Structure 1
Amino acid sequence: MRTKGADYVLRKFATYLLVSSLLIWLTAYGQEQEASAQQQVSTNHQQEVDESAIDLFIETQLEKSHSPGAAVVIVRGNEVVYAKGFGWADLEQGIPVTNTTLFELGSTTKAFTGLAILQLEQQGVLSLDAPVTRYLPWLELNYEGVPVNVTIAQFLHHTSGVPFASLASIPIDASEEALERTVRGIAGSELASRPGESYEYATINYDVLGLVIQQLSGMTYEQYMLKMLQELGLNHTLPVSELNNDGRVAKGYKILMSSPHQFPAPIYRGNTPAGYLLSNVDDIGRWLMLQLGNVDVLPAYQSILDRSHDPGTLPQQDQDGNYYAAGWFVSSQGNEWSHQGSNPNYSSYIILRPDQKLGVGVLANINSAYTFHIGKGLVSMFTEEPMPDEEADFYPQLDRIAMGAVFVIGSLILGLLLGMIRLFLQLRREQRGYVPLSSRSWLKLGLVFVLFILYYWGISKLITLLFSGLPLEVVAVWAPSTVIWAIYGIYFIGLMLLVYFAVACLFPYKEHISTKSYDRVIEPDAAKEVK
């Protein structure tokens, strides 16, 4: 029989045992959770800031692209987790790329112009559904020979019907009137499709929008953009024409003979709203966070930033199934916003994954598809998705093809030069003599001229086909110089062949001249002696 005291002791012992067990379990659980949390933090930290893996990936791609330099920024949430410069801002002077080095943005400029258009709409200054002629009365455009209305929204979404080849109409011009001159260059032109019916990317669409901004704001496009950019806290982003110190800008390069060569591109100030803002990765990092809604900004700006990713109620898809919003390609699911930028000697790529609060920006001082591949690859690294296939880099491929063509063409030209030298030596030694053309010879010479014309016509058509209708003077700005050498070489071969056959026809070799034909070229007295 247990006593009351014994029961008390047992109850007390059981209580102590229960409490001790609970404390031990809680301690063990807490340590396990802490270890798990530390492991997760370590994993996430490694995933976000594993600089050695990121550096290696970027450096490998830049080596493949022959890019002199680049700068990359990665944001996640409200934090810049990576920002770094690579290579050279000036290869010849040995000036490295830093986070503050400025690059031309190319077509990623369009998102800034698109935002300015949405701001004017928000202020009640313009309507996206209004025809452009409400603001630029002289900008009449035709479809199948009949004037048609093209709305501001259609220019914004590249459904205006203005063809891609309108790029060729943008003049080389550094004056303050360059923007209006550029847009006036398409006034009265024929559209490739009825406005609103199909998507066709045409860079000049955004020059039209830039001129509308200028017309309605009472400021130049550049002045309006500087004001907006400063309000957004992008103090190092500016139009090229507003630059006061070009020492901050990376020199631009083009590929030539499989290596980068500095290329001072022509000035297209009239194309500024579509491709000629400058920025650095410090500002692009903030721009990415603005898109993701992760930094404080005036509510009015946040509203239009959100709207800039909306492709509208009747969007048109591009060949990859993306929609075009206000300067952004938006995936069909709406879970990715991106844009590439290409100028003759710069390239950029910006990509955002809003659901994952992730953004990547890449700037380079050469026009290369690897800028795009770096951006896509970094997203894959952070999201643990399969690494995308490398994009075919068009310009190095074109350079290699053109180098082979130049070698072959050079060999043909050398052979023809030797043939022509031999021909003229024969003329000098009087081994050849002039003979008035017979009807058969005229026919031969006429056939040569016809073939010559067909040769040049065929080359022109081939160039038009290969370069999307762009004329040779535009191709010369964008393509590697080896391409132009090859094209001029092909033209020169045709001219040399024409000259060779014409001389050979007019001055045949004397051994092949009949006695009757030869009598025409010797003196009459000598002819009598022969008889």
Structure 2
Amino acid sequence: MSRRFASSLPSLLMTALAATPVLSAQQITSAQRSLIDSTVARLFDLKLAPGLGIVVVRDTQIVYVKGFGLADVEAGRPFTPQTVFYVASTTKAFTGLAAAILDAQGSFRLDAPLSRYLPGVKLRAPLNPDSITIRSLLTHTHGIGEGPVPMRLAYTGEYRGNDHLIELLAEHQPLPSRAYRYSNTGYNVATLAMDRVTGESWKATLDRLIFKPLGMRNTGANVSPFPVNRLAMPYRSTPDGFERLPYGKVDANMQSAGGLVTTLEDEARWLEAQLNQGRVDGRQVLPAAAVRVAQTIHARNEQTVRGVQVAGYALGWNVGQYKGDTLFTHGGGFPGFATHISFMPGRRIAIVTMANSGDLGSTLTELVAQAVYDALAGSPPLSGDSLTALRGLAAQQRAGIKADRDRRAARPQTTPLPFTAYAGRYENPVMGSLELTLNAEGKLEARAGAAWSAVEVFDGTRHQLRVELFGGGSVLTMEVEGERVVAVGMNGVRYQRVRQQ
């Protein structure tokens, strides 16, 4: 999604909905509920996603929860409060709170160096596991660059257990500094250490410390326990609608920086805990002190993002100001999925929005959340002129999608060698495997562990193919000797062809 589109839509919405004095914390009125319902419906009518879910909590009560559209277009299955949705990077707040709880228990210290829990771990100089703390890992101030660990954990699921991942950390380049830089890496590394301390997977730790105490019965870090007919299916935008994507998540690539599925109903219990320092249903089910630590800024990161003046990062939360109110917020995105979660402690309001489109849907989740906050502040309804402007920007984005598709479709889909010559298995000891196969229609498909993509020709004269394995387009440059393909290059990495037995 273009940055211009992502930033312009919320700006237009904020212009249309001027701030007014805040109401005291109370149950919303029927008029407010009707305004939320009509506003969300009008925004959903922009057709930025096939389905949308929203839950709003005030104090200790769900005051609005509803699904719009379809969780599964092909099956005609509606999006409901019970739909199981992949919430991507909003997982970080759960992982961060689990670490804070363990810190309070004294078993896993936030200010302990990584070397205490992973003795012998190797990092590239000048990185030093003696000076990188768990807190820095959870606040994106660790200085470890991208590499094989987050890619294997989030996409391919190819690894031989935690020891293998710890070994691969030596392949990560250092960043230029330890300044805040958002990524999945720190959370992945932190839970490698957490697992060593607890003797269990981070998945089991979150279930034991958070999901079960909160009564989140339809939340988990594995996909397999949930029947397919309960899952929201992923889609991407086309010039005139949406097309289905493969469901890119399996148990093996559900990871601690983005690896939970949940429902609107369960998210409401999580929101109630955030608003009430760990109290749910009138009981203290999570340690209040740990919740406060998780909600404290630990790293400065001053910027303005979609109308929010961000001040810094807590444990899985961006913390800032929206129209004068303190806001805790985080987004989550993956091909076919977009999630927004936020809460305003001063106004005692919390919101989760979910959309099963990862491109335009991410803007929809932000628009809806901001519109609800404004509606509950007594702002005037979204105007017809603003909706017209929003439709225009959506149309521009779809036009960009069409232009990109037309450009790709104009490329000749021929290669010097037959497709069978490119088919085969390729491996890299650091990044894993890449397999190209022919389907029943004679077209190439690519797979890297759990990640799958159709293959198109990028530049046949240069033996170049194009895939979308890791959330964006990548060019495969096939290395040819005579008429035999011996290797493939992708994203600067060389994968050697494996001789078939």
Q: TM-score, normalised by structure 1?
A: 0.64
Q: What amino acid sits opposite 2:302 in the alignment?
A: Q
1:222 counterpart residue number: 203
With over 3 angstroms needed to count, the CA separation of the structure-2 counterparts of 1:62 and 1:182, relative to structure 1, is: farther
Are 2:122 and 1:134 equivalent residues in the alignment? no
The one-letter amino acid paired with 1:337 is F
What secondary structure sits across from 2:172 in the alignment? coil
- 1-side partners of 2:262 and 2:152: how far apart? 26
- CA shift at 1:355, angstroms? 0.3
Q: Residue type of the partner of 2:348?
A: K
* Structure of higher RCO (CA pairs closer than 8 Å, 6+ residues apart): 2
Structure 2 CA distance, aligned partners of 1:473 and 1:392?
37
Specify the code of the residue in structure 1 equivalent to 2:402. Answer: M
1:324 aligns with 2:313: yes
Structure 1 residue 214 displacement after superposition: 1.7
Answer yes or no: is the 8 Å Cα contact 1:237–1:283 preserved in 2.
Answer: yes
Equivalent of 2:190 in 187, 204, 209: 209
Contact 2:127 2:144 in 1 (8 A): no
Q: How many residues align?
A: 391
Q: Which has the higher helix share?
A: 1
Give the equivalent residue in structure 2 for 1:193.
176
Q: CA 1:206/1:412 → structure 2, altered by over 3 Å: closer, same or farther?
A: closer
Question: Could you tell me which residue of structure 1 aligns to residue 262 of structure 2?
Answer: 279
Q: Where do residues 371-382 of structure 1 align in structure 2 (5 Å cutoff)?
A: 371-382=365-376
Shift of residue 272 of structure 1? 1.8
Read off the aligned partner of 2:68 and give its amino acid letter.
F
Q: Is 2:300 the partner of 1:315?
A: yes
Coordinate RMSD, CA, aligned: 3.9
Using a 3 Å threshold, how does the CA distance of structure 1 residues 143 and 149 change in structure 2: closer, same or farther?
Answer: same
How far off its partner does 1:95 sit? 1.1
More divergent stretch after superposition (370-379 vs 115-124): 370-379
Q: State the AA in 2 paired with 1:189.
A: H
Q: How does 1:126-275 map to 2 (within 5 A)?
A: 126-144=108-126, 149-163=131-145, 167-168=150-151, 170=153, 172-174=155-157, 177=160, 181-182=164-165, 184-195=167-178, 198-228=179-209, 229-241=211-223, 243-267=225-249, 269-275=252-258
Contact 1:203 1:274 in 2 (8 A): yes
In structure 1, C-alpha distance between the alignment counterparts of 2:102 and 2:26, rounded to whole Å: 46
| Preserved contact between residue 232 and residue 297 of structure 1 (Cα < 8 Å) | no
Letter in 2 for 1:358: I
SS in 1 for 2:124: strand
In the TM superposition, what are the counterparts of 1:69-80 in structure 2 within 5 Å? 69-80=51-62
Residue 45 of structure 1 is matched in structure 2 by 29
Give the deviation of 1:74 after TM superposition: 0.7
Shift of residue 284 of structure 1? 0.9
| Number of the residue aligned with 2:478 | none
**Conserved 8 A contact 1:108-1:327:** yes
Q: Percent identity between the aligned chains?
A: 23
Structure having the higher strand fraction is 2
Q: Which runs of 5+ in 1 are unaligned?
A: 1-39, 421-471, 497-531
Cα offsets for 1:24-76 (capped at 9, x unmatched)? xxxxxxxxxxxxxxxx99995135422xx323322333343531112110111
Partner residue of 1:353?
344
Contact 2:145-2:175 at 8 Å conserved across structures: yes
After superposition, the C-alpha distances for 1:403-456 in whole angstroms (9 at most, x for unaligned) are: 324435645749x99xx9xxxxxxxxxxxxxxxxxxxxxxxxxxxxxxxxxxxx
Q: Residue deviations 1:457-515, cap 9 Å, x none?
A: xxxxxxxxxxxxxxx999x9799x8xx85xx44x237679xxxxxxxxxxxxxxxxxxx
Corresponding letter in the other structure for 1:403:
K
CA drift of 1:266 comes to 3.4
- Contact 1:140 1:148 (C-alpha < 8 Å) held by counterparts: no
After superposition, give the CA deviation of every residue in 1:134-191 in whole Å (9 maximum; x if it has no partner). 1122433235577773110111111112336775454644578556655543334222
1:323-472 aligned within 5 A: 323-331=312-320, 335-367=326-358, 368-369=361-362, 370-384=364-378, 400-408=399-407, 410-411=409-410, 413=412
Structure 1 residues 127 and 408: CA distance shift in structure 2, 3 A: closer
Aligned-partner Cα distance in 2 for 1:116–1:395: 39
Deviation at 1:213, TM superposition (A): 2.4
The verdict on how the C-alpha distance between 1:170 and 1:184 changes in structure 2, with shifts beyond 3 A counting, is: farther
Identify which range, 152-161 or 218-227, moves more after superposition.
218-227
Alignment-mate amino acid for residue 403 of structure 2: G
1:328 corresponds to which letter in structure 2? Answer: W
Q: In 2, distance between residues paired with 1:292 and 1:43?
A: 15
Q: From the CA coordinates, give the structure whose radius of gyration is larger.
A: 1
Structure 2: unaligned runs, 5 residues or longer: 1-23, 417-445, 465-501
- Which amino acid is 1:118 matched to? A
More deviation, 171-180/134-143: 171-180
SS in 2 for 1:80: strand
- Give, in whole Å, the separation in 1 of the partners of 2:108 and 2:407: 57
- Contact 1:164–1:200 under 8 Å retained in 2: no
Q: For 1:215 and 1:394, how far apart are their aligned partners in 2?
A: 49
Q: Describe the superposition over 1:64-105 as per-residue Cα deviations: whole angstroms up to 9, x where unpaired.
A: 353111211011122111011111121111111111111001
